Structure 1
Amino acid sequence: MEFLKKLIALVAIIFSVNLYTSFAHAANTSTWDAIKSRGDLRVGVTQAPPWFYKKPGEQEWTGLGASVGKQMAKELGVEFKPVEVTWGTAVAALQANKIDIMFVLDATPARAMAVDFPAHPFIYYALAVLADDDLTINNWEDLNKEGMKLAVSQGTTMDTYITKHLPKATILRFPSNGEAIAAFQSRRVQGVSLFSPPLIAMRKKLGRGQIVMPEPVLRTPSSAGVRKEDDKTFRDWVNTTITYYYQTGQTQVWYEEFLESFDVDPKTVPSVRMEDW
């Protein structure tokens, strides 16, 4: 009986050591090695055309971010695996190893303490507002009024910017671009602030509202977030790859292809390349 107890205890210790070793190995495996081992590239996606879009009832994701993710997966020889997140949870998803990359994630100082970013920007865009047609908006101060209600996506650059510059306005924050747009559609707010490309697509769909870029116009680069880790192989590969796509014009091609599929004339929409402004 005593021998059996010792044997059971020994087996339990061996099991615990093996389990710990497995967890430690998983924790220490780089993103680059994990992608190769799993055979897929996990890309964070959220309903936000033209960056990410999935038609109701369908499974395939399209949009600029999805196009780049699919091509990256092809380059790596793995499958493209979309994982749904929100802009507000994308950083946490990277930290928790639920996704490998999130496109159109702005590289702010605060985010840079939590996740890593490639050196070259992914795209460039300008902050805009889709507002009621009867509003006169020339600068941000025109929106900084008591009784003015604006919608933004929570935890985004837009949220940070208008919270700082419009202290008198009421800011309603939503988990996704779609929910922020829905608040404008239902007239719960007088305007919604996003970067210009999504607003142009949504303005066409809604059939009302004016798109303005209040002065001073905030033009900013956007990036691709990856997990912060000692091994920089994946981050550096992402940097080389998005730089190549950007400089060869392929990023703009994918962007325009989605706009056309969304029935938006690319000529009416600002380019995502700073050199074209």
Structure 2
Amino acid sequence: MSTTKRQFFAGTAALFIGLLLTAPAPARADDDPSAVLKQIQSSGELRAPVMIGEEPGYIKDPKTGEWSGFYVDFLKEIADDLGVKLQPVETTWGNLAADFQSNKIDVAIGVNPNPKRGLVVDYLWEPLFTDAWAVATPPGKPVKTWAELNDPSKRIVVQKGSTMQVVAEQLLPKAKITTVEDRNLALLELRSNRADAVILAVFDALQVSKQGIGELSVPEPMLRNPATLAVARKPGNEGFINFLTNWILQERSLGIAQGRLARSFEAHGFDLSILPPNFSF
């Protein structure tokens, strides 16, 4: 074989090997950005956490076990848009990260960005609505500022593993902070005169105030907190995140979310006029 032919075949072989090396690898299931979305639709259900003692967002009928509330209404709308049924999963705020990691839930609603949960959970950047942090205090003992509670003599109760715990630890390091599993236990501490304040989202504090358990205060500086959605951080959830983001944008831009919240609060007899004039959701 001539030198020219040998050089031709060697060059061709090298080119062929190069093409093999640079060719894209076969697509894996994990590479499908809609893998999670397809899995939810194929299962026929959307699994979402629901919480005892978190009215009016989550309300459980003690006779039937059925769930309602404005958060549940939002979740049912998402499930309908996906063509599946909502499957409530009873849990607590402190267990959300573990529930995502163990694949018990697909999406959580009304959550606040939490740095520890953020290690394993993806929060949507657009909030469904804006809340604020408030405190329930014993009747006749309102507070004007957070600084009033940052004292060793003050007993602050929060739900374990919640964003409320983060707020307390950052703003009230001098106070005695007690963690409990859920809101009902926190309010029991307040009723039993074992708490000077319970940190709550402002709409939850409205519920507590309506029940006559404590007095609502929105301390200054006002801490606004976004109520958003969260999904597990795992391959293939880009399409699900995109769907949820577009759903939130529609809810907010058309006033659907704000209208639903206002109707729910009015239906439960909440007096929104007691909220600070510079607060809006």
Residue in structure 2 matching 1:66, options 54, 64, 72: 72
1:224–1:191 Cα change, 3 Å: same
For 2:270 and 2:217, locate their aligned partners in 1 and report how far apart those are by CA, in whole Å: 18
The answer as to whether partners of 1:117 and 1:235 remain within 8 angstroms in 2 is no
1:119–1:39 Cα change, 3 Å: same
Task: Give yes or no for the alignment of 1:152 onto 2:162.
Answer: no
- Residue number in structure 2 paired with 1:247: 253
Look up the SS of the partner of 2:46 in the other structure. strand
Residue in structure 2 matching 1:234, options 230, 236, 240: 240
* Structure 1 unaligned blocks of 5 or more: 1-24
For 1:136 and 1:250, locate their aligned partners in 2 and report how far apart those are by CA, in whole Å: 33
- Residue number in structure 2 paired with 1:195: 201
1:67–1:179 Cα change, 3 Å: same
- Residue number in structure 1 paired with 2:7: none
For 2:75 and 2:84, locate their aligned partners in 1 and report how far apart those are by CA, in whole Å: 11
For 1:208 and 1:182, locate their aligned partners in 2 and report how far apart those are by CA, in whole Å: 9
The answer as to whether partners of 2:131 and 2:224 remain within 8 angstroms in 1 is yes
- How much has 1:182 moved relative to structure 2? 2.4
1:136–1:199 Cα change, 3 Å: closer
Look up the SS of the partner of 2:93 in the other structure. coil
Deviations 1:57-99 (A, max 9, x none): 3322222211110011111111111111100001211121101
Look up the SS of the partner of 2:88 in the other structure. strand
- How much has 1:146 moved relative to structure 2? 2.3
1:254–1:59 Cα change, 3 Å: farther
Task: Give yes or no for the alignment of 1:261 onto 2:251.
Answer: no
Residue in structure 1 matching 2:215, options 189, 210, 213: 210
Please list, as runs of the form range in 1=range in 2, the aligned pairs for 1:1-277 lying within 5 A after superposition. 30-47=35-52, 48-135=54-141, 137-205=143-211, 207-231=212-236, 232-266=238-272, 268=274, 276=280
Corresponding letter in the other structure for 1:198:
D
Deviations 1:86-121 (A, max 9, x none): 000012111211011111111234322211122211
Corresponding letter in the other structure for 1:95:
Q
TM-score by length of 2: 0.81
- How much has 1:222 moved relative to structure 2? 2.1
Look up the SS of the partner of 2:74 in the other structure. helix
For 1:223 and 1:270, locate their aligned partners in 2 and report how far apart those are by CA, in whole Å: 22
The answer as to whether partners of 1:62 and 1:258 remain within 8 angstroms in 2 is no
The answer as to whether partners of 2:205 and 2:216 remain within 8 angstroms in 1 is yes
**Identity fraction in percent:** 29
Asked which structure has the greater CA Rg, the reply is 2
* Count of equivalent residues: 249
The answer as to whether partners of 2:121 and 2:231 remain within 8 angstroms in 1 is yes
The answer as to whether partners of 1:50 and 1:255 remain within 8 angstroms in 2 is no
Look up the SS of the partner of 1:80 in the other structure. strand
- How much has 1:269 moved relative to structure 2? 5.4
- How much has 1:45 moved relative to structure 2? 0.7
Look up the SS of the partner of 1:178 in the other structure. helix
* Structure 2 unaligned blocks of 5 or more: 1-28
For 1:270 and 1:70, locate their aligned partners in 2 and report how far apart those are by CA, in whole Å: 31
Corresponding letter in the other structure for 2:159:
S
1:146–1:109 Cα change, 3 Å: closer
Look up the SS of the partner of 1:116 in the other structure. strand
